[in-house]
Amino acid sequence: MGPFYGKIGDFFTAGPVPSAAFQISSRYLTAASIRKKDKTIKRGFVVPIEAGVIEPRFDRKNITGPASFRAALREGLSKINPGRGHAAILIPETSAHIFVFEVENLPQNPEEMAAFVRWKLNKTIPGVCDEALVAFDWRRLDSRFRLIAAAARKAVVREYEEIFEAEGLNPGLVSLPSLGLINCFLEEEGTFLLVNIEPDHVSLVVLRNSVYAFYRQKITGGLLEAQERFEDWAGRIAAEIENTINYLAKKENLKIERVRLRAGPFYGAEGISAILPEVLSVPVVASGEDQAGRFLPIMGLI
């Protein structure tokens, strides 16, 4: 089973460089083959996934249409020809739980640290670590530590792994899109909100001088599934972002200087980067709809 554990920054350095990396969402699959010499993207693809084929949830079966998902994966593989080898896969974020904790002290012993992380997770959501794989990392912020931890059930992770193994790939790493995105911006100074918009949810991460200070996930519903006008759907997302900015200022004493925006390659996301700068109270820096925007979570892990 692929490792869903360890420090965020160690995910790729801990094992062989993958021949390809994939991001799975409820409505699309992206992937890129990787040049092992310099760990850059060689070729990439985006393949749409029909509604209902993948229903990401923490506590239940995710892949409800395995034949359709295999067909989408095979279509994509034909475009990048990664061969057989190690692969990295980012499963949908709503298939897992992510938390950021502020703590005064951390155990020094690795085994005690792992036990402490599981205790913190179970204290937040009782039973969340039962039959779960856990990833975590920590950084010092002022006189305290900020701990980021993620949990995903083994059975859910195994669903995705089995699909890739059937195509001759070894998923040596399983992670989440936000963990990849964080790595893209860890060296950026200041206090900013990293926003990732996916077909069914938006995730929001605060980075403050290279330290993760806050995480929130909000289910938004798909634009096509809800049959909403684009303006209404975008308005709900804008309201969620603005509400988070206000909450951080009032409750966490965090003044957001800018929003770093990434929207996945799905129907309805094309215009979101044009609307948000007009309605949010802080500047917006969008990753764009080019290769960088499409593959940004993947790029953060290579």
Strand partners, 195: 204, 261
- Asked if residue 232 is part of any domain, the answer here is yes
131: in domain = no
Q: Which residues pair with 32 in a beta bridge?
A: 21, 44
Cβ atoms of 258 and 276 within 8 Å: the answer is no
Least confidently predicted of 2-16, 21-35, 235-249: 2-16
Query: Does a structural domain hold residue 98?
Result: no
Please write the tens of the pLDDT for every residue from 36-93. 677 677 888 999 999 999 999 999 999 999 999 999 999 999 998 887 778 899 999 9
- Does 25 reside within a domain? no
Strand 144-153, strand 97-103: pairing: antiparallel
Closest CA to 157 of 90, 103, 237: 90
* Domain-embedded: residue 91: no
Q: Does residue 245 lie within any of the structural domains?
A: yes
DSSP string over 106-147: --SSHHHHHHHHHHHHHHHSTTTTTTEEEEEEEEEETTEEEE
For the chain, the domain total comes to 1
Domain encompassing residue 189: 181-299
Judged by DSSP in three states, 33 sits in strand
pTM of structure: 0.90
253, pLDDT greater than 50: yes
Q: Summarize pLDDT for 126-153 with one digit per residue, the tens.
A: 999 889 999 899 999 888 999 999 999 9
Residue 244 inside a domain? The answer is: yes
Report the CATH number at residue 238.
3.30.420.40
Whether 234 is in a domain gets the answer yes
Per-residue tokens: 148:
């980021």
User: How far is the C-alpha of 139 from the C-alpha of 217, rounded, in Å?
Assistant: 21
